């Protein structure tokens, strides 16, 4: 018996997603990719701010940037989970 996975069926003819669903998946993926890139960029800016800004401004600016990255991280996690559930429903 060959292993079974819901996305991979041996010897079966599986219908693929229709064009509208593919387009929706593409836009969901783009949104998540952009948000993830923004999180990485904001964390990097926070580290740079912490190391390069003058003393009275370094810590508050870094904390603001890290808080923004945390907020975007929570947003990303919520929408990533929703997109995974949606993709599982499409199969």
35 neighbors 79 (Cβ within 8 angstroms): yes
Residue 6 lies in a domain: no
Close Cβ partners of 43 (under 8 Å, ≥ 6 residues apart)? 65, 66, 69
pLDDT per residue as tens digits for the range 36-81 = 999 999 999 999 999 999 999 999 999 999 999 999 999 999 999 9
Residue 12 lies in a domain: no
Residue 14 lies in a domain: no
Span 11-33, mean pLDDT?
Answer: 82
Residue 9 lies in a domain: no
pLDDT at 2: 53
pLDDT per residue as tens digits for the range 2-16 = 555 555 555 555 656
Q: Which domain holds residue 47?
A: 20-90
pLDDT at 89: 85
Number of domains the chain is built from: 1
Residue 7 lies in a domain: no
pTM across the whole model? 0.78
């Amino acid at each position: 018996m060959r292993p079974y996975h819901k996305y991979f069926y041996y010897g079966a003819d599986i219908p693929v997603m229709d064009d509208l669903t593919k387009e929706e998946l593409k836009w969901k993926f783009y949104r998540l990719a952009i948000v993830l890139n923004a999180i990485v960029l904001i964390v990097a800016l926070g580290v740079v701010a912490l190391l390069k800004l003058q003393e009275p401004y370094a810590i508050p600016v870094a904390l603001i940037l890290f808080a923004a990255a945390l907020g975007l991280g929570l947003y990303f996690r919520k929408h990533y989970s929703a997109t995974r559930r949606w993709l599982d429903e499409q199969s």
